[in-house]
Structure 1
């Protein structure tokens, strides 16, 4: 159980945090950087895939998606997969993505450029680039880790995702 006793240092951090929440545009000159460690709720998500697929995203993306549940406010990580022969819908988003391929072989088309990948490769998908993914095997699934700065943009209110045929 966490220690809930307020030390003088904690009281100062709390006062600074409360004061910062109250800033408005007239207080711009008071917004000095004051890094403060805030202990997150947890630092590890064990057995990610055993927690189960994220039903909404798996259904929407038409392939399994497993969220890594960590309290980051700036980056997210998911485990995704492509079924044998699967081609995803073309889509784009305002956040960047880095894919790291865990297994399989396929390609990602980024703004018309076909980038082939296989186990051990990393692929960069720039912000707002139309792209889709294809598993080139008709018998084996492909699996990857996707790291994105979506939470950062969601917290700023500017995260957007469009899927060709659904949104356009």
Structure 2
């Protein structure tokens, strides 16, 4: 072996990084850097208008919060008086925060009633559906999801009962 090759082998053995196991979750060799995003605010989200295709598919108004996150998304959703969504599921988690109204969410076989100020958790791949209990007042919520993260990994999937995807 040449002196140059021997030096390269010696150097590589000294720079090898430790292999982590589950007990080492707090350790890392990562060195984060700040990358300036294109923008950090989306003013007057609802004034930008509903996302027509998304709203039509889901049969209720949806407003996307347009921020450059690659891991989480936020939307403002609404249910018209008496409205019920289709039964559906997706590979991403969802946390709903109810801004206005009263209704219920069915998660698999459990029905939870909610009202303004409540938060509801939808686990990954759980069949679920939402309904506004009022016949006269709309319901409004914020939905936060890890959909962009799973989309970027190529594993985001959404399915509606009775629809072939």
The structural deviation recorded for 1:165 is: 1.4
Larger Rg: 2
- Quick one: distance in 2 between partners of 1:107 and 1:166? 23
- TM-score in terms of structure 2 length: 0.82
* 2:59 is the alignment partner of 1:62: yes
The equivalent of 1:72 in structure 2 is 69
Q: Equivalent of 2:38, from 28, 41, 46?
A: 41
Do residues 86 (structure 1) and 105 (structure 2) align?
no
Unaligned runs of 5+ in 2: 1-15, 18-28
Structure 1 stretches of 4+ with a deviation exceeding 3 A read none
TM-score (norm 1): 0.81
For residues 41 and 88 of structure 2, the distance between their equivalents in structure 1, rounded to whole angstroms, comes to 31
Q: How many residues align?
A: 141
**C-alpha RMSD of matched pairs (Å):** 1.7
CA–CA distance in structure 2, aligned partners of residues 160 and 131 of structure 1: 14
Separation in structure 1 between the aligned mates of residue 68 and residue 139 of structure 2, nearest angstrom: 27
Deviations 1:88-129 (A, max 9, x none): 100000000000000000000000100100000000000000
Q: Distance in 2 between matches of 1:123 and 1:72?
A: 22
Q: Which runs of 5+ in 1 are unaligned?
A: 1-27
